[in-house]
Amino acid sequence: MTDQDFGTYAAALFLLIGSGFVFVGAVGLLKFNDPMTRVHAPTKVGTVGIGMLLLGSMVYSNSLGSTSIHELLIMAFLFVTAPISAHFIAKVNIHRRACETPPSPPRDETWSTLNSPEADQKNENLKVGQS
């Protein structure tokens, strides 16, 4: 088996895996009811699927002897912009009240800090004292 045959088989495998991921993302987009859950299907699964399709294209072009950076640039752009677009879609749904509002954070000085509540510190001291 030559290197070109191996590259062709590897590219076919990447294309099959990528197609499977894209299919699962499309089914998830159609099946989920809530707009917030619909965001996950195309951004998580679709990104990996498109990445695998582009990887298959890169492997195949490399096996033919021509290297191409275009697919790598597309993957980098996709992996950077997909989470940002998902975040914006989620924020729009929250502001339009099209979904359940997330719970508000607790009102104490330990929220979003490295400080732990006193009750947790007492439990830690008891655990240390028992060992």
The residues spanned by each domain of the chain are: 3-105
Torsion sign (Cα): 115, 119, 125, 130: negative
pLDDT at 78: 86
Tens digit of each residue's pLDDT (9 = 90 or more) over 47-71: 888 889 999 999 998 888 888 788 8
pLDDT at 15: 94
pLDDT at 122: 64
Question: From residue 5, how far is each of 23, 64, 74 by CA, in Å?
Answer: 27, 10, 26
User: Using N-to-C axis directions, what is the helix angle for 46-63 and 3-31, rounded to 10°?
Assistant: 160
Interacting residues of 103 by C-beta distance below 8 A, sequence separation 6+:
none
Residue with the bigger pLDDT between 42 and 51: it is 51
Instruction: List alpha helices for 1-131, DSSP H.
Output: 3-31, 35-38, 40, 46-63, 70-95, 118-130
pLDDT at 119: 62
Of the candidates 40, 48, 47, the residue with the CA atom closest to the CA atom of residue 89: 40
Tens digit of each residue's pLDDT (9 = 90 or more) over 19-40: 999 898 888 888 888 877 788 7
Of the candidates 25, 34, 1, the residue with the CA atom closest to the CA atom of residue 78: 25
